[in-house]
Amino acid sequence: MEVTRETVIGDVLDYDIETAQFFMEIGMHCLGCPHSRGESIEDACSVHGTDPDQLVEKINNYLAEKQA
C-alpha cells in the first residue's frame, strides 16, 4: 500500500492496524469514530495542526520496513 495525503484513514487502519500509533502521535485519539475513519490524512492533519507530508512519510516508511 502506498499512502498519500488523500488516503482515507480507515483504509490505512484496515491495511495495518499498527499504523494507529502514528495517528495517536498527532493527537488523533478518536480513531474508532466513523467520521475520523472516513477522513483523508490531509484533512485530519489540518484539524490537528500537523504536517500531512511528515505523517505520510512516517507511515510509508513503517509499511516499507514491514514488507522488507
Give CA separation, 45 vs 15, 26, 48, 63, 66, in Å: 20, 8, 5, 19, 24
**Fold for the domain defined by 9-67:** SP0561-like (1.10.3910)
- Residue ranges per domain, the chain? 9-67
pLDDT digits (tens, 9 = 90+) for 26-36: 888 777 777 77
The three-state secondary structure class of 26 is coil
pLDDT digits (tens, 9 = 90+) for 40-63: 999 999 988 999 999 999 999 999
